[in-house]
Structure 1
Amino acid sequence: MQDCVFGISGLRGVVGNGFTAEVVTKVAAVFGNFIGPGIIAVGRDTRPSGVAFLSATAAGLMSAGCVVEDLGICPTPTVLHHVRLKGRDGAVVVTASHNPKAWNGMKFVGPDGLFLSPVEFERFRNSAERGKVSRADWRSIGELRRYQGAVDDHISAITENELFSDVRNRTSGIRVGVDAVNGAASEAAIGLIRKMGAEPVELNCRTDRALLLNGFPRATEPRACNLTDLSNLVRTEKLDFGVAFDPDGDRTSFVDETGEPLGEEKSICLACLYVLPRRKGSVVVNLSTTRAVEDICSRLSVKVERSAVGEASVVSRMKEIGAVLGGEGNGGVILPEVNFTRDGLVALGCVLGFLTSRNIGLSGLRKEIPEYRMVKSVLDLSRPEFDARRKRLLEEFSNARVDNQDGVKLEGVGYWVHVRPSNTEPVVRLIAETDGKIRAEDIVERAKGALKGM
């Protein structure tokens, strides 16, 4: 595992270079020991290596005495929903999420239908790194089952929820462009749109292996800069809006009826505008999420709390305070009453519900979201190198308010910048947001310069 990234977001690596069937089988067996005998669900995204690594995962789990339930291709949030709905003992999702095509990975889910907490994950990772595995004998070795209804179950959970149950009565004539990057949300997003009474118009919704051997059709993250084809589709076909996903379907962003991308930061803002007038309670977002969330919640008299980056951290804080909504600025929306995880289908449901409850298009709704200038960048720097140089950041931004709970976040007049080592790649991520009076690009460059010693 030395060439893989093994962090709170799971195990990820380049296929054939560290991330191999042997590694996956062994880690899966350790997870089987960690969970204990029971039924473990396994799903995957559409990467060409997915079949091989799902098989390796199943082999490892069965060798530890677990019954494996193969869900096939399905979004990551669908797997977590299935664990809770069916009372499974855990799950493994074979996906590298937004990482490039050469990567694959494993995400680990506990019996509560949540990703392992930081404490649970450390225990599991320590076991995996020790490498000791207890194997079942011929009498108790596990078996393989298949279940093909997980996506339909997930869609039903959304459409039957009180927040969305009457949307179908108002969606006649609405047409939605869908760019699922040929990923796990391809069929699920189309199915949800149809069940909510609207018409999907497909773009990048094919999941056949032969096509995916050429790679994903666009950059994997649903950032505004990656959605040119979806914007063109919305304009050409005169659609009501477009929705884009990442490869495993837990993150979304939207394009308005004019073909203008809103950016992934706006997904949690739109969810706040739809959910919070209908559900009273607090909101949790991570340190890197736009300040617009506080502005919206302030108008609605809703409290906002910030957590470390990573779904597990956001969910942990949501559970502690009983938050009704949460998410991250990368396009992740968490609505606990439907699914206690980032769920791209839930975000899509919120936008459909919002549009049909107001007599304006998405371009009009976006005007209700305060505008800030945000810039995201990365720097090739290992975690130890970052730790050794973080003092330079404090010196460069000596007048800023400091938050050390996840890397370093520095807040000054009219700006903030968050600098932290990635949980999924050997890089440092930098995100700056300003009110427009200061260039966000300049803030990022100052931070980079401090870390480089320039």
Structure 2
Amino acid sequence: RIFEVGRKRPPFKELGTVKRYYNAINDYNMRLMALSRSATGGSLVLDCNCGLGTDSAPQILNKIGTDIISINAQKDSEFISNPLSIKEADTRHMKALVLASPGSTGISMNRVGTMMRVFDETGEPITDEQLLCLFILYLKPKKVVVPMDVTWLIEDVFRGNVTVEVDSPFPDPDPEQMEFVVANPSVGPIHRMLVEKDADLTYYQGGFVFKGISWSPDAIMGSVLLSQFSSSNNMSEVLSKLPTYFSEKKTFRFSCSQADFARMMDANLPDINPMAVYEDKCWRVDMASGGFFVAFDKDQEDVVNIFAESNDKLYLISLLEVIDGLMEKCEAGQ
């Protein structure tokens, strides 16, 4: 756009500089190797989708002793990458490869090496939040940053309320130093919080940021950690031990302004005796056995969307009644 007719060009003193970083791949690989614990890798089927991961993931996994089967591990700018969804049509090929190598897990990366889809030993894809549970159990982080709408299972796993034994080379953190940080579920607040808190692990929309390697999601380091996890743990067995959480979604329409609704929310929330309330243009409310998340609808200004969750069905039913009462008080904004 700087070449548009009539557009004023900036003076040369305001121009920045561009430098080509020729040694980026080697420096990244060396840094990742330095961060890797002594644990050796397990068996893994890895799909690099002909992207940036081809320069790092297979090489590092080999160095830590992973029994690796690599596919699409060559650079190809014209390659049509495979989606990372959990739809059966998108996972069929990887599932077949994992099942053909008994005891293996599987990982598919996107082309830039930031996101991944993980498959357990049965070839089944696992959800992003299940993967977050595995990282928390294995890494034993002191500080975790997550979006406010994350499942309450994650917080219970982090705080040790869910007991699942996992073999890990990482030490148990000091409980007094542990911090579970929730932020507005958008990239800006999440990133600001991970920097401010110097978080060990950050999660947002399927991406995982690990301390000491990058400020962006890193599926390459994630694949190394999962390979080491699988060398001494069975992923599907660990996931099977996680409790089931029940959830419901509701939508409410209000007749006041968003500012008045927010004011009434803040005024009425203490009446329901929450364990904790987090507010940043939306609300996460922790209750005795679960909680709920409230956010304004992106398309309709007079609508809020609610996600409620509990590990007890009966408690969830009573929680929904509490939410109904809260919304009735806030609906008119007075």
Q: Same fold (TM over 0.5)?
A: yes
Shift of 1:317: 3.0
Residue in structure 2 matched with residue 256 of structure 1 by the alignment: 120
Residue in structure 2 matched with residue 154 of structure 1 by the alignment: 28
Shift of 1:205: 5.2
Pairs within 5 Å for 1:200-211: 200-203=68-71, 208-211=76-79
Task: Indicate the SS of the match to 1:211.
Answer: coil
Alpha-carbon distance change, 246 to 217 in structure 1, aligned in 2, over 3 angstroms: closer
Correspondence for 1:327 among 202, 210, 219:
202
Which stretch shows the higher mean deviation, 248-257 or 152-161? 248-257
Listed one character per residue, the Cα deviations across residues 154-181 of structure 1 (whole Å, up to 9, x for unaligned) are 22211112xx2423xx33xx43122445
Pairs within 5 Å for 1:90-239: 134-136=10-12, 146-161=20-35, 164-167=36-39, 170-171=40-41, 174-181=42-49, 183-203=51-71, 208-212=76-80, 216-218=81-83, 220=84, 223=86, 227-238=91-102
Task: Indicate the SS of the match to 2:126.
Answer: coil
CA distance in structure 1 between the partners assigned to 2:204 and 2:152 by the alignment: 10
Residue in structure 2 matched with residue 314 of structure 1 by the alignment: 190
5+ long unaligned stretches in structure 1: 1-21, 27-58, 60-130, 380-384
Q: Contact 2:106–2:119 at 8 Å: present in 1 too?
A: yes
Q: Contact 1:182–1:205 at 8 Å: present in 2 too?
A: yes
Alpha-carbon distance change, 284 to 145 in structure 1, aligned in 2, over 3 angstroms: closer
Residue in structure 2 matched with residue 435 of structure 1 by the alignment: 311
Correspondence for 1:344 among 214, 219, 239:
219
Alpha-carbon distance change, 156 to 259 in structure 1, aligned in 2, over 3 angstroms: same
Alpha-carbon distance change, 202 to 284 in structure 1, aligned in 2, over 3 angstroms: same
Alpha-carbon distance change, 282 to 147 in structure 1, aligned in 2, over 3 angstroms: closer
Alpha-carbon distance change, 151 to 367 in structure 1, aligned in 2, over 3 angstroms: farther
CA distance in structure 1 between the partners assigned to 2:9 and 2:292 by the alignment: 43
Alpha-carbon distance change, 305 to 166 in structure 1, aligned in 2, over 3 angstroms: closer
Shift of 1:400: 8.5
Residue in structure 1 matched with residue 169 of structure 2 by the alignment: none
Task: Indicate the SS of the match to 1:342.
Answer: coil
Shift of 1:327: 1.5
Listed one character per residue, the Cα deviations across residues 2-53 of structure 1 (whole Å, up to 9, x for unaligned) are xxxxxxxxxxxxxxxxxxxx4xxx5xxxxxxxxxxxxxxxxxxxxxxxxxxx
Task: Indicate the SS of the match to 2:213.
Answer: coil
Listed one character per residue, the Cα deviations across residues 312-355 of structure 1 (whole Å, up to 9, x for unaligned) are 433433444444x2212533333323334432222222222223
Letter in 1 for 2:284: K
Quote the RMSD (CA, aligned, Å). Answer: 4.6
How many residues are aligned here? 294
Q: Which has the larger radius of gyration?
A: 2
CA distance in structure 2 between the partners assigned to 1:183 and 1:419 by the alignment: 38
Q: Contact 1:373–1:436 at 8 Å: present in 2 too?
A: yes
Residue in structure 2 matched with residue 404 of structure 1 by the alignment: 279
5+ long unaligned stretches in structure 2: 161-171, 252-256
CA distance in structure 2 between the partners assigned to 1:209 and 1:246 by the alignment: 13
Task: Indicate the SS of the match to 1:227.
Answer: helix
Listed one character per residue, the Cα deviations across residues 215-271 of structure 1 (whole Å, up to 9, x for unaligned) are x432x5x55775343223211333511123345433334211111222111233222
Alpha-carbon distance change, 429 to 199 in structure 1, aligned in 2, over 3 angstroms: farther
Instruction: State the TM-score, normalizing by the size of structure 2.
Output: 0.65
CA distance in structure 2 between the partners assigned to 1:258 and 1:176 by the alignment: 12
CA distance in structure 2 between the partners assigned to 1:197 and 1:421 by the alignment: 49
Letter in 2 for 1:271: F
Pairs within 5 Å for 1:275-314: 275-276=139-140, 281-299=142-160, 302=175, 303-308=178-183, 309-314=185-190
Listed one character per residue, the Cα deviations across residues 278-307 of structure 1 (whole Å, up to 9, x for unaligned) are x6x333322122323322332366433233
Residue in structure 2 matched with residue 242 of structure 1 by the alignment: 106
